[in-house]
Structure 1
């Protein structure tokens, strides 16, 4: 029987070979393909980071050391992740499933205490902070103030303060929704009061941990 010949396009050249050779050829190409690091089914979840020299006194990176993050590629068809956490212990810390990308919203429901608390988006080491959002209920001259800031390599940035229409009250419930936009964080409290904070640290997707601490009780955290 006459063997059928096929044409195979590889780069700019067209190669000709017997059709019976296809299974062997495909296996050879598959065996030679580079491996993609994976974790939990996501090819971008285990990219390496550089070693971090630690300050022996506090366990934080040595002052002036800049973490060398490698930003993983994101798939355009990656699905959003949604998960719920109820009544967590304080202080609270959780990795954001699916990462921080534009279009996502993080919802934090709880009860404010009588002093102050903070909600933060941090790196995996909780050293650098991409968003520090701190309502101050009662704390001297700062009472009734929302403070927003960042921290990079152990150094705090310039504070942004808001005093108008302070939406938090001691012993009362609140809902904070943080939406990731293209150039800023949008923080909405109780569906009516809005704060905005422009991104100062990049890449954005390295801030993969949500932290809440201080004088508050958490009821429900949701990643949308």
Structure 2
């Protein structure tokens, strides 16, 4: 049994927060079938946010950074066709952890054009081969981003129609152990 599946089993057995997985459209994330779970949480990952974003909703990504990471991204997007770049889709929030210069960056893409990338804080919260927990809280005017319980920064909404933000995408040098 792979390390990811074992850790996922441990995490799922210790879940006190039953609503944690409710924000994503796929109820199979809590499936007792371990093979289904590992398949659903493979990177790159794309999953539907049930009902889109709204104030009060939060997305939680838990995982383990790879041993020799370069970078990873967590994005909240409008629409599921981002693999097909023919149609420019909006990216409401793209969080990028870059290990070479220890930066945690954020940006957005509106009507096919990227906004200026906002610089990271002085604190880089990610450590190779270690677990992490990212929380993205949606408020009326902004997203508030926490890592391991510490508020790192705010990102003011560039996409004004919050319900249209309906997909979470994760890629890069990490393993996902829980998503909700």
Quote the residue 1:115 is aligned against: 70
Distance of 2:23 and 2:123 partners within structure 1: 31
Counterpart of 1:155? 113
5+ long unaligned stretches in structure 1 = 1-80
Matched, 1:137 2:99: yes
**Structure 2 residues not aligned, in runs of 5+:** 1-21, 30-36, 83-88
TM superposition shift of 1:202: 2.0
Mapped to 1, the partners of 2:154 and 2:65 lie a distance apart of 21
Counterpart among 71, 82, 94 of residue 47 in structure 2: 94
**1:105 aligns with one of 58, 78, 91:** 58
State the TM-score, normalizing by the size of structure 2.
Answer: 0.72
**Partners of 2:50 and 2:145 in 1: how far apart?**
19
Distance 1:145 1:135 in 2: 6
Check whether the contact 1:144–1:163 (CA below 8 A) recurs between aligned residues. no
Between the two proteins, the alignment pairs up a number of residues equal to 139
CA distance in 1, matches of 2:171, 2:106: 15
CA RMSD of aligned residues (A): 1.8
Q: CA deviation at 1:82?
A: 4.6
Contact 1:115 1:136 (C-alpha < 8 Å) held by counterparts: yes
> 1:110, 1:173 within 8 Å by CA — same for their partners in 2?
yes
Q: TM-score normalized by structure 1?
A: 0.58
Counterpart contact for 2:60–2:134, Cα < 8 Å: yes
Q: Distance in 2 between matches of 1:136 and 1:207?
A: 24
1:118 touches 1:135 (CA, 8 Å); kept in 2? Answer: yes
For residues 200 and 82 of structure 1, do their structure 2 counterparts lie closer, same or farther at Cα, with a shift above 3 Å needed?
Answer: closer
Closer, same or farther in 2 for the Cα pair 1:120/1:82, shift >3 Å? Answer: closer
How far the C-alpha of 1:193 sits from its partner, in A, is: 3.9
Query: Residue 173 of structure 2 aligns to a residue in which SS?
Result: strand
Equivalent residue number for residue 214 of structure 1 = 172
